[in-house]
Structure 1
Amino acid sequence: MPRQLIPHACRTLSFLCVAALTFVLSACGNADAESAASDDRPLVLTTFTVLSDMAENVAGGHLEVKSITKVGAEIHGYEPTPGDIKKASKADLILDNGLNLEVWFSQFLDGLKVPHVVVSAGIDELSITEDAYAGKPNPHAWMSPLNVQIYVENMITAFSALDPQHAGDYRANGDEYKQKLQSIQDELVKELAMLPMNQRALVTCEGAFSYLARDAGLSEKYIWAVNAEQQATPAQIVSAIEYVKANKVPAVFCESTISDAPMRQVVEASGTSFGGTLYVDSLSEANGPVPTYLDLIRHDSAVIIKALTGKNS
């Protein structure tokens, strides 16, 4: 082949390769766009991942459910992004926990004409009794499987109003989910019933387990009421030490999102055991220890039962 023809052939081959690649990428892009456009399910947003997982169980695929905050996000003081607001403007329904959990939520809704439902509506509220938040409702109502059954009922009602065509499915899905929740609740109560009354105590870093403790027949003690600064005062630590000693509490716990150093001081000074890490505000990634709410509440129940009774649940 003449040497002067080689560059021309290379340019021709390069052009054909680029053209082919452009066609493939364009086809993929069109396929993605068509796929996105074909999802005409109503969009339901939740304020955090725990609610999103519950909602998906009730929706059963009939609704597109997404969480505004991501796995591991600090829900109490979250700062919404412009992208969050844009996403919310396209939603058909937004679900929030209420009880002053999402302090940012009322401002988030300003200017958005999107209906929202407070899924904790109807629970028997408990109040925070200490510190700057005394008198305000304890927001961690989802930590009781009994309360979550009320959450589920509120979701069934909201989803049925949004999408009446699948109301029967929402009811069936919700009832099945509630049975699983009741089973976890029954196991927790049964296993803890063997403990002496003074040892039926849940001692944690933050007061995030008030509802679980109440509904499982446990007394509750925590180092601080609300996880605001993740710090404990000497007086708070001493109070926890004295409580553990007086009641001969077998084990104490701390939450996954905060340092357990203060509780380790309680362990060292009182002679009790560190029972393990509990999960509250966020699910884990899919390959983590608590990818769903049922996994979360089962994990916490199993850790509490094992540490307090010495038995595996």
Structure 2
Amino acid sequence: MTFALTACGGAGAEDDGRKVVLTTFTVLADMARNVAGEHLRVESITKVGAEIHGYEPTPGDIKKAARADLILDNGLNLEAWFAQFVADLEVPHAVVSEGVAPLNIGEDAGAGKANPHAWMSPVNAQIYVDNMVRAFTDLDPVHSAAYRDNAEAYKTRIGAVHDDLVAALSAVPADQRALVTCEGAFSYLARDAGLTEKYIWAVNAEQQATPQQIGAVIDFVRARDVPAVFCESTVSDAPMQRVVEATGARYGGTLYVDSLSEADGPVPTYLALIRHDADTIAGALAGAVR
């Protein structure tokens, strides 16, 4: 685990005495809370529904980060704004994707770079959890045993979600095992579930879909007779609706990647996010649009 700069400490004392862990987006925050338990206060820089790739930190974000005791970021070039965000802050940070074997983006401006959405694989998510344990132990060694115990229990639950995901998507007929989305955010999930991935743009920062990109997806859907296509919650589905109109494929539903929902929404936790996406994909590809 690599740390940058030096800790300023004491951020949590203003509220309840706990040290504060600040994550770059809500998915990481939920994972971190499961590891931290009651011993750390975990917050997210971005709010529910925010698009993470092109996020622009506010002055309030800078103040919040300066008071934190630890910042967690995904890495793998997800948070393009992060380096400048922390450049002048004397706060340690940890990269939670460290140790993940990245899959590379195959198309568009990002071709050859690591696909940053590694948390979409529950197998990778367990690596994230281990990295959080190390970071929290360095920050607060008194509660190291609790962090390890919390992590092991959480990893067991993540493993069960992985098994359910593979089982749900294994029921999709072989000739329909294609996942067509707006963003290329599902490479790791598709790998785990044995799906062929196709997308309009590689990352949401490039979300101005060109006629060529849409045309390539239309050709793919027609050639594979793909029954359903999808888009993500943080972007407009208008480009994918053009694919639907041109091919007759169904719009299979909204998938979640970069952000959780509110507590009363469909994906208030990371585990709920993976379950929702797996059920939505499997149901739509099998003919029951969710």
Is the structural similarity TM-score above 0.5? yes
Larger radius of gyration: 1
Tell me by how many angstroms 1:59 deviates: 0.5
TM-superposition CA deviations, 1:170-225 (whole Å, max 9, x none): 11111111112111111121222233433211110110111111111111001111
Tell me by how many angstroms 1:54 deviates: 0.7
Matched residue SS, 1:125: coil
Tell me by how many angstroms 1:150 deviates: 0.7
Aligned residue in 1 for 2:40:
63
Tell me by how many angstroms 1:38 deviates: 6.4
Query: Are 1:185 and 1:216, in contact at CA under 8 Å, matched by a contact in 2?
Result: no
Query: Is 1:94 the equivalent of 2:54?
Result: no
Aligned residue in 1 for 2:5:
none
TM-superposition CA deviations, 1:121-168 (whole Å, max 9, x none): 111101112111212111111111111111011001111221122111
Aligned residue in 2 for 1:82:
59
What is the aligned-residue RMSD (CA, Å)? 1.9
302-311 or 217-226, which deviates more: 302-311
Matched residue SS, 2:205: coil
- Amino acid across the alignment from 1:67: S
Task: For structure 1, list consecutive stretches of 5 or more residues without a partner in the other structure.
Answer: 1-34
Query: Are 2:173 and 2:286, in contact at CA under 8 Å, matched by a contact in 1?
Result: no
TM alignment of 1:141-156, pairs within 5 A: 141-156=118-133
Query: Is 1:231 the equivalent of 2:208?
Result: yes
Matched residue SS, 1:72: coil
- Amino acid across the alignment from 1:258: V
TM-superposition CA deviations, 1:214-252 (whole Å, max 9, x none): 111111001111223533222222211221122222211
Aligned residue in 1 for 2:172:
195
Q: Which has the higher contact order (CA 8 A, sep 6+)?
A: 2
Query: Are 1:230 and 1:259, in contact at CA under 8 Å, matched by a contact in 2?
Result: no
Count of aligned positions: 279
Matched residue SS, 1:132: coil
Query: Is 1:157 the equivalent of 2:134?
Result: yes
- Amino acid across the alignment from 1:180: R
TM-score (norm 1): 0.84
| Counterparts of 1:312 and 1:255, CA distance in 2 | 16
| Counterparts of 2:200 and 2:74, CA distance in 1 | 24
Counterparts in 2 of 1:260 and 1:81: CA distance versus 1, 3 Å = closer
Counterparts in 2 of 1:229 and 1:135: CA distance versus 1, 3 Å = closer
Counterparts in 2 of 1:288 and 1:220: CA distance versus 1, 3 Å = same
Percent identity between matched residues is 69
Task: For structure 2, list consecutive stretches of 5 or more residues without a partner in the other structure.
Answer: 1-11
Query: Is 1:122 the equivalent of 2:87?
Result: no
Query: Are 2:50 and 2:234, in contact at CA under 8 Å, matched by a contact in 1?
Result: no
- Amino acid across the alignment from 2:277: D
Aligned residue in 2 for 1:219:
196
User: More helix per residue: 1 or 2?
Assistant: 1
Counterparts in 2 of 1:107 and 1:231: CA distance versus 1, 3 Å = closer
Query: Are 1:305 and 1:312, in contact at CA under 8 Å, matched by a contact in 2?
Result: no
